[in-house]
Amino acid sequence: MTPRTLRRRLVSSAAALAAALALTSAPPTATAAPTDYQAESATISQGVVESNHAGYTGTGFVNYDNLVGSYVEWTVTAPAGPADVTLRFANGTTATRPMDWTVNGVSGAVGITYPGTGDWTVWQTKTVRLQLVAGTNKIRARATTADGGPNADKLTVNPTSDDATPPSAPSNLAVSNIKSNAATFTWSAATDNVGVVRYEINRGGNVLKVVDANTLSATVDTLTANTSYDVSVGAFDAAGNASQQSNVVTFTTPGSGDTQPPTTPGNLRSTGATANSVSLAWNASTDNSGSIAGYDVYQGATKVATTGSLTTTVTGLTPNTSYTFTVKARDPDGNASAASNAVTVRTSATGAGGIPAYDKDIAKVDLGWSVAFLPDGSGTALVTERDRFEVLRVTASGQKTTLGKVPGAVTTTGEGGLLGLAISPNFTTDHWVYFYHTAANDNRIVRMKYENGVLGTTSEPVLTGLAKNRYHNGGRIAFGPDGKLYATVGDAKNSGNAQNNGSLNGKILRLNADGTPPSDNPFFSTGGNARYVWSRGHRNPQGLAWDSRGQLWAAEFGENSQDELNLIQKGGNYGWPACEGTIGDCGGYIAPKRTWSTSQAGPSGIEIVNDWIYIAGVTGEQLWVTQINSAGTGVGTPQAVFSGRWGRLRSVTKTPDGGLWLTSTNDDKNGGTPSGIDNVIVRLKFG
């Protein structure tokens, strides 16, 4: 066991302050009596029972080992439903000790912090809301940092009525002390009917820092120089309910004054070539700043790709022709490395493979979020404009007509608005077009009539009550080979939704065309919202496509580590929030078939053509291409195409004549710029 001599020193001068900052909240009216469970009688992994500090109850307390993964697990008997679970703890250090909570192996609360109490003899309590099953429950508190957990005295389990009321949004967010790698944020407190337990500082949908409910100012020191940021703050209560986001502050960090260039990228090499493309890879550069801003790929003296990855595929080349490439690295201050070794590659004489080439521009739009082609043989598509809430009709030649707006669609000044689009498989007779959009109080799926070139002015609800937030709204919808409508729904910044079958969020849903749940859905017999669930444990999925076997594939945005490409199983659990990609407590969950760094992909729309998967990368600003293996159980090494060419790529859709339409959504982070028509729809071709 790692000794904790230093953290056991008396710090009595800080005790009063720590007690004042303790997180306590009065639980709602209980439905059963609270029960105490001593930590020393629980199952302990990587910790010991001690009694050398006064003030504990029972016969002792548990001293967690100082490492990630040490835990205490209590066996608890309770009725089914929510319970307030209160840990009595002591922390004689200044280090906040976060822990994750699980119930029967399923994530219940993530990143709950246990701050210093001033002394190892000063005991405080902190409450989390967990969902329990009837009878026996295994409740585990697991340390998530190398500091381990706090000293644990006892657990009090208080079954309670459900709290479904989220906190109010934090307000008056401001930024100050902006440096090349840090900035300080302050905000006004949120309110809650029970009590706020923590705040998350977010960039886009990703968490920069988590602080407790008593902290209304925090410095984030993991920023990058010369980088634009849009930051907001969200509040959470003990039940896991997430507030809407605060106001957004935007700023650009200054340069650091660094003039030292990165090291030269090494071992530039070709990893494949077709008649019209060359795939390249290289070894990473390093920089004294600690980060690389990107790589620029040159064909001779011409820059042909910009990427944050270590691979790219250059397209639009001539068959049976030699090309020479180099690559340079850039740091956040704009310093460029020397050119890598040059590599000369000859394209093949024939055969296009699965790598598409640019064909032509189709149209300019604002934020074309989703595309669906009409089944009339004309090559004409409908396109959703996310922030204008408009539906466009775009022909194969690029003629663009605004058909009207989807009534009730609103923005979240972030990732919400008019999102997914699907055309009924019986469109020639029923004329229904389906939309996924944000409304005043929820996200929802609706349908509208489109007949004789005219879009109706009213919508019919298909499924409502999908929780919304500034981030994590999901939004892709598509009809599968079975004629059912599938929808990707984000967790709405409440990660607990993803494992709760009573919530429609953090899921892929499956429903009949009229909005009723199919009786062969995996949790249909459970009743309620669970009837719609096809798969769960998703954070923010946005891509849906089926392969030649009828298998469903989905792409999903990660938190801060890994994005995912998943092969979806009926009733499958993909692990969020306990597991992100392959990182975390991933045992028992379905592993992704491919992961990327969140800086390289940001996968939104996906498409499958002849068992090649095409993935539109928002964050990585490139199209990823990979082939499903012959067994249909996995994919090959993805190749990045069009790196940096059109910016943030949102959707990719196969055309009736055998090509692909690709859309971009730049300037989309804070509700976009609906007055500007500056994003593209382009056509890609094969062969």
pLDDT per residue over 636-648, tens digit each?
999 999 999 999 9
pLDDT of residue 671: 78
d(CA 504, CA 310): 37
Residue whose entry in the numeric block shows the structure tokens 């199209």: 623
> Which of the following is catalytic: 53, 437, 472, 538?
472
Q: Which of 406, 375, 411, 373 is nearest to 390 (CA)?
A: 406
pLDDT of residue 364: 97
d(CA 101, CA 496): 11
Burial class of residue 146 (count of CB atoms within 10 Å of its CB; 0-12, 13-18, 19+): exposed
d(CA 626, CA 164): 42
pLDDT of residue 273: 82
pLDDT in tens, 501-537: 989 999 999 999 999 999 999 999 989 999 999 999 9
- Pairing relationship of beta strands 322-330 and 343-346 according to DSSP bridges: antiparallel
List, in sequence order, every residue forming a beta bridge with 444; answer none if it has no partner: 437
pLDDT of residue 274: 81
Assign 134 to helix, strand or coil: coil
Distances (CA, A) of 100 to 60, 72, 83: 23, 11, 16
pLDDT of residue 19: 32
Distances (CA, A) of 121 to 19, 51, 93: 12, 11, 12
Q: Enumerate residue ranges in the chain where pLDDT < 50.
A: 1-31, 352
pTM of the model: 0.75
**Is the Cα torsion angle 501, 505, 507, 513 positive or negative in sign?**
positive
Burial class of residue 380 (count of CB atoms within 10 Å of its CB; 0-12, 13-18, 19+): middle
List, in sequence order, every residue forming a beta bridge with 72; answer none if it has no partner: 44, 141
Give residues with Cβ within 8 angstroms of 350, minimum separation 6. 275, 319
Q: What is the DSSP letter of 343?
A: E
Cβ count near 653 (within 10 Å): 23
Q: Give the H or E element holding residue 387.
A: none
pLDDT of residue 10: 28
Give yes or no: 472 in active site.
yes
Contact call for residues 103 and 78 (beta carbons, < 8 A)? no
pLDDT of residue 11: 29
Length of the chain: 687
pLDDT in tens, 132-145: 888 899 999 999 99
d(CA 155, CA 41): 11
